[in-house]
């Protein structure tokens, strides 16, 4: 089967050319109108797409009108297709959301697979976009786009929480009902197509090119961030009326998606606020880690960005869609479309006048042959690498170009008659012309991570935009985080003080009038220093005046600073005078004063309040000695007055900035370390991260730069501001940065604190063994109690038992007829339990490999299994929403625990055996009494599926991992929530080490995280797979980890060796969807 991947620059309908058979409708599908599939009569053929055909049908039993999607029979020829179809259809059908089209039924009849769904009559988004162009209608208002985005975001986030990634978000997969409500369609279909042999063999990923993310172009595994990127492209298209990237060839389109930034929307639609550009840019970030943590955050940020600019309603999404006459727009700009197609077709060869047919056919045969030959030669030349001056095309580009050559000859033959009949000029062939195609840059696909040098906070300095809190013309003069890190306090130019929740909101929590001042600074958001030319005041956050107000009629106040504890206030004057005041003991005179002879343009205290720096043309350093400030050193190097200064948290570094230069000083040896290469000078704001590893500067031109504080290296430059950045503030934990300035925006950024290999020195991981043998994805790996054996299972339906030391297979256990989702060894290691999609739990003799027993009681797939600590009971959970308890010796079902309202994904016994925990698709964790089966408590703080639960070895804690991107720790006795550990993708598994000191979690983004359970501190984050990691298990000694990912079980060794000294035994993999930069 040839699975087409057609380039296009828009989402209009495509008209097919000659059909292969008289009654065919494409892809080998025959027109089935009038026939019956199961209980469904196929009445009208609505359209044909790259994956099959859609019919209007009738469900005879209920007399209900439905839409029936019939997939190509050619798909059924692929090995394992039927099982995949049933699995993906079941997954799609399980999605129940108000903005996901409901699937009523699915089946396969004589090799023809079909999916039955609700019929929607409001057309697709693609049709509305096409109709707008044809009718020259106005674009939808920003408010209407925000409403649509909110609907689609809720649908996609829900699907992601259920572990489902769409993979092919595009306008033709968004449909409407008659009221304008939007629905996402075709969940699971893209994955089904992608799993066929052709795509696998070519290394390609499913998607529609105009909406494909960079990771899809690189043939990496899609994630929730992939859907977000495609949705970002759609939003851009709705906002501007054009797609962000267009090119005459797939090669050129791929290059743009991988390397170029889209034209800012306001350049195409002037009324679009700058903050909209910021939001869309983040959703379309090249690196998945830089996108929003979820799509709802994208929608909320977009909604906040358009406040005051929503526009007038256009009825773009509610007006009727009229059917357009067939137009061969798929050939405009040399493009092809693979979305849903109309069935209206051009005249066939048999229907044309014979004279016309005879004249055209030879022409098209010759033209097709010539063009195909030319393309083949060009492709071969590019794949080989061209001449010595032409860089070889990388793998991802070769894949696209080779597929393009294959498609081109067949498509030209198909569209030839169409173009002639409709008199549309033939578009030039899709060649890689040196004059139009960009060269293939060597950096197009990121290289793998270095094998020896760790990546840490100190050498990444990554930021990710979280949200824009407010947008207005009033400049921000003061900015600080509250002491708890959960609120942000800002002071506007008019003196208005606002409190904001860190997560962002349309309106502040509180807004109060205050005092107008050109400058306001605060360390904790509670005590504020307000300064203008003739007054300095110290106020608390509710704007009641404290005890001190400093005024001097004889001079202008030019600078002021508070100590970290708000105890001392320093004031600098235009005359060169410096006064130091005790804030808590106000007298008529300062406690000390001294002069520097020239205007004091800046002041800064060290964190301990013992050192004061004064800035003018030089920086002078003063030490506190018995309430007297004594000059110690003078730092020279500036060529203009120093306007900004800041000490590092430890006091060992000082950064000083003037209009012309920004300098970094060593305050221990009193020497200049470096000059920071700011882009344009004019630094107006400086902030140190709490641990002192990062330095951030904000400038006159709106640029914000992130620096490695130890080396002075520029690690990131951000240019999204339209005004001067005057305020920067880190939260107390160092996980967020807030920035603000004259443009009125208050922007919150997350700081990358755990990226890739070896974040901290406490732990290091090296890969010791890779166990291969499964023919499909592995789902679970578990250790035997003595650590000598490993067992694994997966989608191939087998269970394998391995010798842990040698990696050799001891047994391959066969008997299950579907995916094996879970495994568990008995406490004595003599029995292995397995749970499967086939609805059974099986017990195996570990010594002989023989099957001991089969437990049949679940009425659907079984996703989890666990032995009790005494080995006498087995617990299992499944798709029937039940937790079932079994007698391990007799196989008798002891009781069924009912309470969950959806599939049970995980079960675990308490070490004492008196309680069982279970996690479910309903988002809850439930605790049950083992003997009675009574529900003890329900923990419902998660907002997504709970995929994994486990107790700590001492029984004190219960850990749960969820599709909401968090690991939660609960007190196992009181059931109180103790801690929330964020993971920026859905959590697939959690596990405690044998001593309970470490907690591990794996995520769908292919990463492993390790926490110190005593402090809750992240010890390390490792990219361990290119696809989602399905399970994690500690070895009995706590020095090894077994991870199941893709078709392999990998064993990693944990050590306390500093990461920088390690040489990994295996080349680290590049994460395909590592967490967004936090």
| pLDDT at position 755 | 26
CA distances from 242 to 167, 213, 246, 259 (A): 22, 17, 9, 19
In the predicted structure, residue 971 carries a pLDDT above the cut 80: yes
Most confident of 93-97, 250-254, 328-332, 348-352: 93-97
Give pLDDT tens digits for 275-311: 899 899 999 999 898 899 899 999 999 998 998 899 9
In the predicted structure, residue 458 carries a pLDDT above the cut 60: no
Percent of the chain with pLDDT over 90: 38
Give the residue among 562, 573, 510 at the shortest CA–CA distance from 539. Answer: 562
| pLDDT at position 452 | 28
- pLDDT higher for 214 or 746? 214
Q: Residues 576-602: what's their mean pLDDT?
A: 86
| pLDDT at position 675 | 86
| Count of residues making up the chain | 1078
In whole angstroms, give the CA distance from residue 903 to residue 938: 15
Query: Is residue 202 a contact partner of residue 191, using CB atoms and an 8 Å limit?
Result: no
Task: Answer left, alpha or beta for residue 626, where phi above 0 means left and psi between -120 and 50 means alpha.
Answer: left
| pLDDT at position 178 | 85
- Which residues in 1038-1064 are b (16+ Cβ under 10 Å) and which e? bebbbbbbbbbbbbbebeeeebeebeb
In whole angstroms, give the CA distance from residue 243 to residue 560: 51
In whole angstroms, give the CA distance from residue 462 to residue 693: 12
Q: How many Cβ atoms are within 10 Å of 65's Cβ, its own excluded? A: 13
Distance of CA 522 to the CA centre of its chain: 34
| pLDDT at position 984 | 65
| pLDDT at position 700 | 81
- pLDDT higher for 146 or 21? 146
| pLDDT at position 502 | 73
Q: Residues 465-479: what's their mean pLDDT?
A: 66
Most confident of 314-323, 675-684, 993-1002: 993-1002
pTM value? 0.39
| pLDDT at position 590 | 87
| pLDDT at position 964 | 85
Q: Residues 498-515: what's their mean pLDDT?
A: 58
676 pLDDT tier (thresholds 50, 70, 90): confident
In whole angstroms, give the CA distance from residue 1076 to residue 294: 10
In the predicted structure, residue 1073 carries a pLDDT above the cut 70: no
Q: 40: exposed, middle or buried (C-beta count within 10 Å: 0-12, 13-18, 19+)?
A: buried
Q: Residues 769-788: what's their mean pLDDT?
A: 93
434 pLDDT tier (thresholds 50, 70, 90): very low
Give the residue among 776, 829, 782, 783 at the shortest CA–CA distance from 798. Answer: 776
In the predicted structure, residue 797 carries a pLDDT above the cut 90: yes
Most confident of 103-117, 730-744, 826-840, 997-1011: 826-840
Among all residues, which ones are annotated catalytic?
Answer: 168
Most confident of 425-439, 467-481, 499-513, 827-841: 827-841
| pLDDT at position 489 | 85
| pLDDT at position 477 | 83
Q: Residues 620-630: what's their mean pLDDT?
A: 90
Q: What tokens does 30 get?
A: 């025959």
In whole angstroms, give the CA distance from residue 847 to residue 453: 44
- pLDDT higher for 1007 or 422? 1007
Give pLDDT tens digits for 193-246: 444 443 433 334 456 789 999 998 887 888 999 999 999 999 999 999 999 998
Most confident of 36-50, 573-587, 893-907, 1020-1034: 893-907
CA distances from 1078 to 153, 159, 227, 290 (A): 21, 23, 20, 8
In the predicted structure, residue 336 carries a pLDDT above the cut 50: no
In the predicted structure, residue 21 carries a pLDDT above the cut 70: no
In the predicted structure, residue 171 carries a pLDDT above the cut 50: yes
SS3 content of the chain, % helix, strand, coil (to 5): 20, 35, 45
Where are the strands (E) in 455-576, listed by range? 463-470, 476-481, 487-492, 497-501, 510-512, 519-521, 527-531, 536-540, 545-550, 557-562, 568-573
In the predicted structure, residue 483 carries a pLDDT above the cut 70: yes
| pLDDT at position 1006 | 84
Q: Residues 109-135: what's their mean pLDDT?
A: 89
Range with the poorest average pLDDT among 9-13, 529-533, 735-739, 904-908: 9-13
Most confident of 36-50, 180-194, 686-700, 802-816: 802-816
Q: What tokens does 62 get?
A: 């209920």
Query: What mean pLDDT, rounded, does the chain reach?
Result: 76
In the predicted structure, residue 350 carries a pLDDT above the cut 50: no
In the predicted structure, residue 850 carries a pLDDT above the cut 90: yes
Most confident of 125-134, 326-335, 495-504, 710-719: 125-134
The arrangement of strands across the sheet holding 628-635 comes to 602-605, 611-615, 619-625, 628-635
| pLDDT at position 343 | 36
Give pLDDT tens digits for 29-87: 567 888 999 899 999 888 776 567 889 999 988 889 999 988 877 666 666 667 777 77
116 pLDDT tier (thresholds 50, 70, 90): very high
- pLDDT higher for 805 or 230? 230
| pLDDT at position 910 | 96
- pLDDT higher for 273 or 718? 273
Range with the poorest average pLDDT among 21-30, 184-193, 257-266, 628-637: 21-30
- pLDDT higher for 136 or 29? 136
| pLDDT at position 465 | 52
């Amino acid at each position: 089967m040839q699975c087409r991947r057609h380039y296009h620059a828009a989402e209009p309908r495509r008209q097919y050319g000659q059909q292969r058979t008289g009654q065919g409708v494409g892809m080998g599908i025959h027109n089935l109108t009038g026939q019956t599939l199961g209980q469904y009569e196929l009445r009208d053929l609505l359209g044909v797409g790259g994956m099959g055909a859609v019919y209007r049908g009738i469900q005879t039993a209920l007399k209900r009108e439905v839409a029936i999607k019939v997939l190509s029979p050619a798909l059924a020829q692929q090995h394992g297709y039927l099982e995949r179809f049933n699995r993906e259809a079941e997954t799609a059908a399980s999605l129940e959301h108000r903005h996901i089209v409901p699937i009523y039924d699915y089946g396969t009849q004589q090799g023809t697979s079909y999916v039955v769904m609700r019929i929607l009559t409001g057309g697709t988004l693609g049709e509305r976009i096409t109709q707008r162009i044809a009718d020259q209608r106005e674009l939808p208002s920003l408010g209407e786009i925000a409403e649509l985005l909110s609907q689609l975001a809720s649908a996609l986030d829900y699907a992601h929480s259920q572990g489902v990634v769409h993979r092919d978000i595009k306008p033709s997969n968004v449909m409407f009902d008659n009221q304008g409500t939007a629905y996402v369609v075709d969940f699971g279909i893209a994955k089904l197509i992608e799993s066929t042999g052709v795509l696998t063999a070519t290394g390609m990923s499913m998607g529609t090119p105009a909406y494909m993310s960079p990771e899809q172009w690189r043939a990496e595994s899609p994630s929730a961030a992939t859907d977000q990127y495609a949705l970002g492209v759609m939003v851009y298209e709705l906002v501007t009326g054009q797609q962000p990237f267009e090119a005459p060839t797939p090669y050129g389109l791929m290059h743009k998606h991988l390397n170029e930034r889209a034209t800012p929307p306001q350049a195409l639609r002037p009324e679009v606020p700058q903050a909209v550009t910021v939001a869309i840019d983040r959703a379309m970030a090249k690196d998945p880690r830089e996108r929003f943590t979820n799509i709802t955050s994208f929608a909320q940020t977009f909604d906040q960005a358009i406040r005051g600019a929503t526009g007038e309603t256009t009825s773009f999404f509610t007006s009727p869609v009229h059917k357009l006459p067939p137009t061969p727009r798929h050939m405009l700009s040399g493009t092809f479309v693979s979305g849903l197609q109309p069935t209206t077709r051009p005249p066939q060869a048999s229907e044309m006048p014979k004279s016309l047919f005879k004249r055209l056919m030879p022409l098209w045969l010759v033209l097709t042959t010539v063009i195909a030959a030319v393309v083949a030669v060009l492709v071969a030349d590019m794949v080989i690498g061209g001449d010595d001056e032409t860089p070889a095309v990388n793998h991802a580009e070769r894949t696209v170009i080779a597929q393009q050559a294959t498609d081109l000859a067949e498509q030209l033959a198909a569209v030839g008659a169409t173009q002639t009949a409709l008199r549309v000029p033939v578009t030039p062939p899709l060649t890689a012309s040196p004059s139009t195609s960009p060269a293939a840059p060597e950096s197009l696909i990121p290289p793998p991570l270095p094998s020896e040098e760790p990546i840490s906070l100190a050498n990444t300095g990554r930021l990710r935009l979280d949200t824009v809190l407010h947008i207005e013309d009033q400049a921000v003069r003061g900015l600080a985080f509250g002491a708890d890190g959960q609120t942000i306090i800002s002071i506007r130019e008019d003196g208005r003080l606002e409190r904001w929740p860190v997560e962002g909101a349309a309106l502040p929590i509180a807004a109060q009038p205050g005092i107008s001042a050109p400058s306001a600074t605060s360390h904790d958001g509670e005590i504020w220093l307000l300064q203008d030319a003739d007054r300095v005041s110290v106020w608390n956050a509710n704007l009641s005046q404290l005890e001190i107000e400093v005024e001097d009629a004889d001079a202008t106040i030019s600078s002021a600073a508070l100590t970290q504890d708000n105890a001392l206030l320093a004031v600098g004057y235009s005359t060169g005078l410096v006064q130091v005041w005790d804030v808590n003991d106000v007298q008529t005179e300062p406690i000390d004063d001294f002069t520097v002879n020239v205007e004091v343009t800046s002041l800064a205290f060290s964190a301990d309040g013992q050192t004061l720096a004064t800035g003018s043309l030089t920086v002078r350093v003063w030490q506190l000695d018995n309430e007297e400030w004594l000059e110690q050193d003078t730092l020279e190097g500036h060529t203009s007055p120093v306007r900004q200064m800041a000490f590092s948290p430890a006091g060992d570094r000082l950064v000083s900035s003037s209009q012309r230069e920004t300098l970094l000083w060593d305050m221990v040896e009193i020497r200049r370390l470096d000059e920071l290469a700011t882009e344009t000078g004019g630094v107006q704001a400086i902030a140190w991260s709490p641990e002192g590893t990062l330095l951030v500067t904000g400038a006159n031109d709106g640029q914000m730069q992130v620096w490695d504080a130890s080396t002075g290296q520029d690690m990131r430059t951000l240019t999204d501001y339209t005004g001067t950045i005057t305020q920067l503030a880190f939260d107390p934990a160092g996980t967020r940065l807030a920035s603000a300035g004259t443009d009125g925006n208050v922007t919150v950024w997350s700081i990358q604190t755990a990226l890739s290999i070896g974040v901290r020195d406490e732990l290091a991981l090296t890969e010791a063994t890779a166990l291969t043998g499964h023919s499909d994805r592995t789902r679970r790996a578990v250790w035997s109690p003595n650590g000598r054996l490993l067992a694994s299972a997966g989608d191939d339906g087998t269970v394998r038992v391995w010798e842990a030391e040698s990696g050799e297979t001891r047994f391959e256990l066969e008997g299950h007829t579907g995916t094996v989702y879970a495994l568990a060894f008995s406490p004595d290691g003599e029995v292995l339990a397995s749970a499967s999609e086939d609805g059974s739990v099986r017990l195996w003799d570990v010594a002989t490999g023989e099957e001991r027993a089969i437990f049949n009681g679940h009425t659907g797939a079984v996703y989890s299994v666990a032995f009790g600590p005494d080995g006498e009971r087995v617990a299992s959970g499944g798709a029937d929403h039940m937790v079932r308890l079994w007698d391990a010796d007799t196989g008798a079902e002891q009781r069924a625990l009912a309470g969950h309202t959806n599939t049970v994904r995980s079960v675990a016994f308490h070490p004492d055996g008196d309680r069982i925990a279970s996690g479910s698709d309903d988002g809850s964790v439930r605790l049950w009494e083992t003997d009675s089966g009574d529900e003890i408590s329900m923990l419902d703080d998660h907002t997504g599926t709970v995929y994994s639960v486990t107790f700590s070895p001492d029984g004190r804690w219960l850990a749960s991992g969820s599709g909401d991107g968090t690991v939660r720790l609960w007190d196992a006795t009181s059931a109180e929530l103790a801690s929330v550990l964020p993971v920026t993708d859905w959590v697939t598994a959690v596990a405690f080490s044998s001593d309970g000191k470490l907690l591990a979690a794996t995520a769908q983004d292919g990463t492993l995280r390790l926490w110190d359970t005593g402090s809750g501190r992240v010890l390390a984050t490792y990219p361990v797979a290119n696809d989602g990691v399905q399970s994690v298990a500690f070895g009995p000694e706590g020095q090894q980890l077994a991870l199941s990912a893709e078709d392999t079980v990998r064993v990693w060794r944990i050590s306390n060796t500093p990461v920088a000294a390690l040489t990994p035994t295996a080349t680290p993999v590049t994460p395909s969807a590592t967490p967004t930069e936090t």
